[in-house]
Chain A
Amino acid sequence: MTSRGTRALLTGIAVVVSAVVSLAQATPPAAPAQVPRTADGKPDFSGIWQALNTAAWDLQDHAGAYASFIGVPPGRGVVDGNEIPYKPEALEQKKQNFAARATEDPAFARCLLPGVPRATYMPYPFEIIQNPAMVGIRYAFARAVRTIDLSGRSRDWLKGWPDFWMGDSRGRWEGDTLVVDVQKLDERSWFDHAGNYHSEELHVVERYSFIDRDHIRYEATIEDPRVFTRPWKITMPLYRIIDPQAEIFEWDCRFDQDSEKYKDAIPK
């Protein structure tokens, strides 16, 4: 291809990309007319979805690197403004996590439940099944599962319980946007492979809204006064897997990891 042709192609790609980004950043007052809806008129997010980005490795802009068995693919970040507002003392912990990421990342290195919001942008699909009073999500990674209660019931009964790796999720509708309030998240999960982390004070508010029938605009506002100086937000599109035969197979990564680790070991 000629250099002029290459430039034209790149320009065309840039136009398309910027158009997609603009579309993703727009907050529609109501879902487009063609989106699927449930019998009670709510947008129906049921289906298999996947984030197509590199946020699971690093939420911020990052270059490619070799940090573990799979390497780190380069990519643009998903944090609004790209900065994560760490408190100075907390930033030191993040740096330590980064240095140890090849062995200490709870998800990629240890196959533990990825937590919220990381489950959404792990590089694997997940399935939403939506009922009027509850949304269920089955993630491919680590057999993670969430239920989002939509009934408006109090979560007070969970006071005093230990935290949950996938948190306690309560949802409500704001127009055509599903807003999910997630609390009681276990402090041991990380946001990404770069060691971005949180404390047990983490509070996540997710917003799911249709861009069109095959794309969801996903936002998560992250608040943790012990670790960050202010709330911050990530935004990304989610893509529908349109293959009608697609499904989430059972994948217990940690069981497989242990099976390999102990295959020749002798019980004491």
Chain B
Amino acid sequence: MTTHLRVFGAVAVAVAAASLSLPAGAWGQAPAAITRLPDGTPDIRGTWVRVGGGLNEANPPDSELKAFGVLSEPQGFGQGPVAAGPGGEVAGPRVAKYMPNPRPPAGIVDPQDRVLPYTAEGRTRRLDYAKNMCCPAKSLAYLELSVRCAPPQPWTGGGVHIMQRPGQVALLFEANHHTRVFYTDGRRHPSPNVRFFGGHSTGTWKGDTLLVDTTNLDGRAYFGVGNTFPPFSQELHLTEEFRVVSARLITFVLTYDDPKTFTRPVKSAGFFYPQNEEEELAPEFTCHEGSYSMQNIFGF
């Protein structure tokens, strides 16, 4: 039965994502005042939907990756009916009541043309992966990490519970029981010998902006650039600026700094808006528990 959980979880995320393509204007709202915790920091506890922050790059027409079927544009979700519920019932387009209007930027904002400034090493690494990832993959190392149910990474989106307590802000995502914790108690990052797909994050409040620094990243990416491969190196360093605009909107800019992969830092924007209060996220969206991908790929 859990075999289907990825599908249902994906549907839950898709229902939320589908709303992104709805026309704006019908549900704009006046800015809601920021509520605050006893220490004066913004109270952002609640259930939100995170949009943007990924590297949905555009490949130039002469990209050598076109030969490998690499997607050059984000595919997005259509505006038609979407399947919802365990019986596959068809639901009409869902209305996200708190979708900001106008919508803040989501996706690459620097460089503006969304063509990523690869170093020679980064481009070589990417091309090598594209040549050997499919099908079949050359080896385990070339197998796309989502197939392997790798832990999600800091740019993962979708529905998320934001929890706060003194010393930390925690994000509990719906997708693949992914969590992020931003420690605001001044602790250091662990030794660089320690690597996580989700990295290690520390944060600092500056007024209503939470500055987050993420290191210790594994380097291999889950749903990498262009949905094709892990282009990063272990030198990848993420910085995020989450600005609490109102009780119903958090905007952010995520900076990817990886000198082995990009000639200069790349920035991607995004935002959080509140989930409709009458709705809940799925209690669980597993991956390993319902996956037979590895057995199917390797035959044992």
Contact = CB atoms under 8 A, between A and B. Distances in A.
A129 B165 contact: yes
B98 interface: no
Given A165-B286, A265-B140, A147 B298 contact: no
Contacts of B21: none
* B interface secondary structure, majority: loop
Interface stretch (A53-61, A75-83, A243-251): A243-251
A268 interface: yes
A144 B5 CA distance: 15
A131 B164 contact: yes
A4 B181 CA distance: 53
A266 B138 CA distance: 7
B177 interface: yes
A249 B168 CA distance: 14
Interface string A123-156: 0000001111110101000111101010001000
B170 A161 contact: no
A46 B172 contact: no
A252 B85 contact: no
B85 A145 contact: no
A131 B45 contact: yes
A45 B138 CA distance: 49
A254 B294 CA distance: 12
A250 B137 contact: no
B162 to A, nearest CB: 9
Nearest to A135: B163
Nearest to B287: A254
Interface stretch (B56-64, B114-122, B142-150, B263-271): B142-150
Interface residues of A, number: 53
Nearest to A162: B1
B91 interface: no
B205 interface: no
Interface in B248-290: 280-284, 286, 288-289
A179 interface: no
A162 B289 CA distance: 13
Interface string A148-191: 01000100011011111111110000000000000010101000
Nearest to A39: B38
Contact of B170 (A129, A252, A259, A268): A129
Interface in A99-139: 111-113, 129-134, 136, 138
Contacts of B136: 266-268
B289 to A, nearest CB: 5
Please give me the 7 A-B residue pairs with the lowest Cβ-Cβ distance, nearest first: A267-B136, A162-B1, A164-B284, A250-B196, A129-B163, A145-B177, A254-B288
23 contacts: A112-B288, A113-B286, A131-B164, A136-B161, A136-B172, A138-B172, A145-B177, A153-B280, A162-B8, A165-B284, A165-B289, A169-B283, A247-B183, A250-B151, A250-B197, A255-B150, A255-B151, A255-B288, A259-B148, A262-B140, A262-B298, A265-B300, A267-B140
Given A161-B86, A259-B148, 6 more contacts: A136-B170, A143-B151, A153-B280, A254-B149, A262-B298, A268-B298
